[in-house]
Structure 1
Amino acid sequence: MTERLLLDEHYSEQIAVALRELGHDVVSVVADDSLRAASDSAVFFGAAASGRRVVTENIKDFRPLLLAAMGKGEAFAPLLLVSPRRFPRGSGSRARAIVEALATWLDAAAAQVRPVEDWLV
């Protein structure tokens, strides 16, 4: 079973479209009117409510949300953290590289034992 992903605002809808074309359940903040201008907290808890893992490079804001929710026993969205150094903005091949890396991550056999906080490599 593949995980359902929510791409944070750093990622274009084209990435989500490409992944859906590969058979994955991926949506993006930028294509959702209710999330586009929402706070990180609203994105995080919206993902939790819809059973999605947040894909983000905004580690400094999302990691504390995850830790606080887990500490309080609240519903939370797992995170898939992305290093902007690994996938630099402004690179012409950034979107393609992210699609390939996410597809590989989603297709990995270890999907049943993924950590709550994982890194895209």
Structure 2
Amino acid sequence: MTSRSPSRLLLDEMFSPTIASALRESGHTVVAVAERVDLRSMSDNEVFGWAAQEKSWLLTENVKDFRPILLQAIQTGATAPGLLFTSSRAFPRSRKNPGPLIEALDTWLRNGPPPPPIVEDWLIGPEAEPPR
């Protein structure tokens, strides 16, 4: 079994910096768009490019905008980050209880992203049934 290098993760703008902070306390390399002025002012294309440059996966609920950016990057041979999708349905955004999302991300980061050539993954909620 080969060991995977630690994953880096960028949290899109809808995710609280509290989540990034908690994951960093667990030893992960995580940045939240919402905690960095330079990232908050970027377009989706620029955030995607920043994540690619940093060799980071990007967590987002914004499938509608980021999947086409990913597909275009793949088609043109551009460097692309991995995209980790989730939804507010799977993990309701709550300042009072970010625990389930933090736990799921901690597990995902510890396990590592899917191996190449896979560039997309889904983080499902604790009560969701696994795909069959």
1:43 aligns with 2:47: yes
Aligned partners of 2:72, 2:62: CA distance in 1, in Å?
16
1:33 aligns with 2:37: yes
Q: Which runs of 5+ in 2 are unaligned?
A: 125-132
The equivalent residue for 2:128 is: none
Query: Partner letter of residue 122 of structure 2?
Result: W
C-alpha displacement of 1:49: 0.9
C-alpha displacement of 1:57: 0.4
Query: Partner letter of residue 108 of structure 2?
Result: W
The equivalent residue for 1:89 is: 93
Aligned partners of 1:97, 1:111: CA distance in 2, in Å?
19
Matched-pair contact (CA < 8 Å) for 2:114–2:121: no
1:98 aligns with 2:101: yes
The equivalent residue for 2:121 is: 118
Q: Which runs of 5+ in 1 are unaligned?
A: none
| Secondary structure of 1:35's aligned partner | helix
After superposition, the Cα gap between the structure-2 partners of 1:112 and 1:67, relative to the gap in structure 1 and judged at 3 Å, is closer
Name the count of aligned residue pairs: 119
Using the aligned pairs only, state the percent identity: 47
User: Which has a greater percent of helix?
Assistant: 1
Query: Partner letter of residue 66 of structure 1?
Result: L
| Secondary structure of 2:37's aligned partner | coil
Per the normalisation by structure 1, the TM-score is 0.91
Quick check: which has more Rg, 1 or 2? 2
Aligned partners of 1:103, 1:10: CA distance in 2, in Å?
18
Query: Partner letter of residue 18 of structure 2?
Result: Q
| Secondary structure of 2:38's aligned partner | coil
The equivalent residue for 2:74 is: 70
| Secondary structure of 2:88's aligned partner | coil
Aligned partners of 1:27, 1:90: CA distance in 2, in Å?
19
